[in-house]
Chain A
Amino acid sequence: MSRRARLWLLAPALAGFLGLLVWGMTGLPGSGDHQGAVAATIARTAVPERHATNVVTTVTLDYRGFDTLGEEMILFSAALGLVVLLREQRGERKEEVDDDRAAGRKAPGTSEGLRIFSLALVGPTVLLGLYIVAHGALTPGGGFQGGVILATSLLLVYLSGKYLALRELTPIPALEAGEALGAVAFALIGLGGLIASGVYLHNFIPLGTPKTILSGGTIPFLYLAIGLEVAGAFMLTFLEFLDQTLLVRSRSGG
């Protein structure tokens, strides 16, 4: 179907869809006017029940914990699919470079200030990521956000020009093992709930006092597992993309 025919088909379809959407939205109460009954109940009972002050965390890991298991599996399989897609194929080779720039680039090199600053920021970034993962039950944060922040420390290493040195230190199998460990740890902690009281992901560790770091029962440990898995998945993604850009060349070409 030609482009023009496609556009002529799109216009009425999109207009009709938009009309239906707007008509459906008029049936909703205005934003901010209506509090759902479930929201009110959870806001009232989450802290006494679970001793965790971040109610969003209790919803993610307790009231809707099974959904989080599914989301984690999506993350895991997407990272796995990425590694399979970008595996070294017959027409390519990984070339040995002793320089951290993509081969053949004529752009000016990065400034010394950028390199030093990025390298100095790696430590604080890792610390911030670990802090956010650990305090998921208390303040905004948790495994998902902290895991991504941990993965961005890899980007800072790339910006500071030490990517190749890092590449030799972190082989991809170690990252894959770490990510799989995070995914499995989440499932296994849920299994502990099954063994202890017959319900998957039920809490089986004594709840601490609210606002301390070990409050919430299994929540800090679940978030540690998620943090490990998300950090592993993102680092794997970044490493694969950086490899493709910097190292992989086609055999026949330059």
Chain B
Amino acid sequence: MSGFLPYAVAAWLFAAGIYGMATSRDLIHLVVCLTVAQSATYVLLLGVGYLHGAAAPIFADIGPNTRVVDPVVQALTLTDVVVEAVVVSLLLALAMQAHKRFGTLDPDDLRAMSS
């Protein structure tokens, strides 16, 4: 049963993030809920790659034939973490400019841009 727990936590985090985004009244709060939904994918990927009793995939101090966890998912996740942070900062800048233009951060009150 505990083998299923990482997947369950990933599904819960994703659902929580989506719920937060849909019911948000503040653009900045919405961006943070997007971050939570993204972290669900990290948990899922690492859960898939894990192996019981295996070591980290760094062979600097262990013998060359020890069992290690999956290095491919770790490579995917680590570039993802850094890149998504910059994308989140771009979204925050968009929120800042939306506030300047419309005077409010409420997603319900933003109007279409007038010409």
Tell me if chains A and B make direct contact, with any CB pair below 8 A.
Answer: yes
Binding site for B on A (CB under 8 A): 3, 6-7, 10, 14, 17-18, 21-22, 25-26, 28-36, 38-39, 42-44, 46-48, 53-56, 58-60, 63-64, 67-68, 71, 74-75, 78-79, 81-82, 85-86, 138-140, 144-145, 147-148, 210-211, 230, 233-234, 237, 240-241, 244
A28 touches B75 (CB 8 A): no
The answer to whether B90 touches A78, judged by C-beta atoms less than 8 angstroms apart, is yes
- Are A31 and B57 touching (Cβ within 8 A)? no
Given A31-B48, A56-B57: A64 and B71 within 8 A (CB)?
no
Minimum C-beta distance from A206 to chain B (A)? 20
Cross-chain contact A85 with B86 (CB below 8 angstroms) = no
Given A39-B70, A71-B79, answer yes or no on A31-B15 (Cβ-Cβ < 8 Å). Answer: no
**Which has the most chain A C-beta neighbours within 10 Å: B60, B72, B79?**
B79
Asked if B50 and A32 sit within 8 Å, CB to CB, the answer is yes
From residue B107, how far is it (CB to closest CB) to chain A in Å?
10
Give me 19 A-to-B residue pairs in the complex whose CB atoms sit less than 8 angstroms apart, sorted by A's number.
Answer: A7-B23, A25-B4, A31-B50, A35-B70, A44-B65, A48-B64, A53-B59, A63-B72, A71-B80, A71-B83, A74-B83, A74-B86, A75-B82, A82-B90, A85-B94, A86-B96, A145-B78, A234-B86, A241-B89
B32 CB to nearest chain A CB (Å): 16
CA distance A237 to B91 in the complex (A): 12
Residues in B neighbouring A29, C-beta threshold 8 A: 3
- Which residues in B have their C-beta under 8 angstroms from that of A28? 7, 48
Contact indicator B58/A31 (Cβ below 8 Å): no
The answer to whether A55 touches B57 (Cβ under 8 A) is yes
Secondary structure type dominating chain A contacts: helix
- In the complex, the answer to whether B75 meets A64 with C-beta atoms within 8 Å is yes
The answer to whether B4 touches A39 (Cβ under 8 A) is no
Given contacts A28-B7, A55-B68, A71-B83, contact A140 B58 (CB under 8 A): yes
Contact between B90 and A85 (Cβ–Cβ < 8 Å)?
A: yes
Question: Which residue, A18, A28, A30, A43, has most C-beta atoms of chain B within 10 A?
Answer: A43
Residue of B4, B67, B72, B76 touching A38 (CB-CB under 8 A): B72
Pick from A55, A59, A64, A147: contact of B58, CB below 8 A.
A55
- The interface residues of chain A lying within 8 Å CB-to-CB of B110 are none
Which residues of B are found within 8 Å of A38, using beta-carbon distances?
A: 72
Taking a contact as CB atoms under 8 Å apart, the answer to whether B51 and A32 are in contact is yes
CA distance A169 to B103 in the complex (A): 35
Tell me the chain B residues, 38-90 only, with Cβ under 8 Å from chain A. Answer: 47-52, 54, 56-60, 64-65, 67-72, 74-76, 78-80, 82-83, 86-87, 89-90
The residue in chain A whose Cβ has the minimal distance to the Cβ of B58 is A54
* A31 in complex: contacting residue of B4, B23, B87, B89, CB < 8 Å: B4
Say whether, besides A56-B74, A64-B72, A31 and B79 are in contact (CB < 8 Å): no
A53 to B71 alpha-carbon distance, docked (Å): 12
B75-A139 in contact (CB<8A): no
Q: Closest A residue to B96 by CB, please name it.
A: A244
- Contact partner, B15, options A18, A67, A233, Cβ 8 Å: A18
Known A-B contacts A28-B7, A64-B72, A67-B79; A78 and B59 likewise in contact (beta carbons under 8 Å):
no
